[in-house]
Each structure stands twice: as C-alpha cells, then as structure tokens.
Amino acid sequence: MTQRYEVQTKFTYGWENVWHDEDDKLIYFDTRKQAMKELRENVDDWNNDPNTTSKYYYSDYRVKPTS
C-alpha cells in the first residue's frame, strides 16, 4: 500500500482532516512535500485575503501519514 499524507486541523478535541475538494471528498497527498506546500499556500492566502477577520497560524495544522 502506498503511503499518503493528509493535512490535519487542530481542534479543542484533537486533530482531524477536514480538508475537502470540490466534490466534498477528503484531500490526500502523495508526498509530504505536496501536503506541506498546500498547507503553506492556503494559510498564506487566507492571511492575505482582505476579508479574513482573524489570523491563521501554521501551528494550527500538521501533515500526518494516513494509517
């Protein structure tokens, strides 16, 4: 089985993958590098959006291999 990676979001109850695509399916990445790139790009985009009302932090997300 090929290793895949997911971006998990930190919640008060723990970590969870809540990243979905346009078809409402969970997003998985083939490499850790791809997942980290997507995480950084999304956080940067959110923080640079003039409509963002709060700041996003990289520490609120992590990349983990799927089990």
* pLDDT tens digits for range 29-66: 999 999 999 999 999 999 999 998 999 999 999 999 99
| pLDDT grade for 6, boundaries at 50, 70 and 90 | very high
**pLDDT of 1 above 70:** no
* Distance spanning both ends of the chain, measured CA to CA: 10
- pTM for this one? 0.84
**Distant-in-sequence contacts of 2-6, Cβ < 8 A, 24+ apart:** 2/30, 3/65, 3/66, 4/28, 4/29, 4/30, 4/65, 4/66, 5/29, 5/30, 5/31, 5/32, 5/34, 5/35, 5/63, 5/64, 5/65, 5/66, 6/35, 6/63, 6/64, 6/66
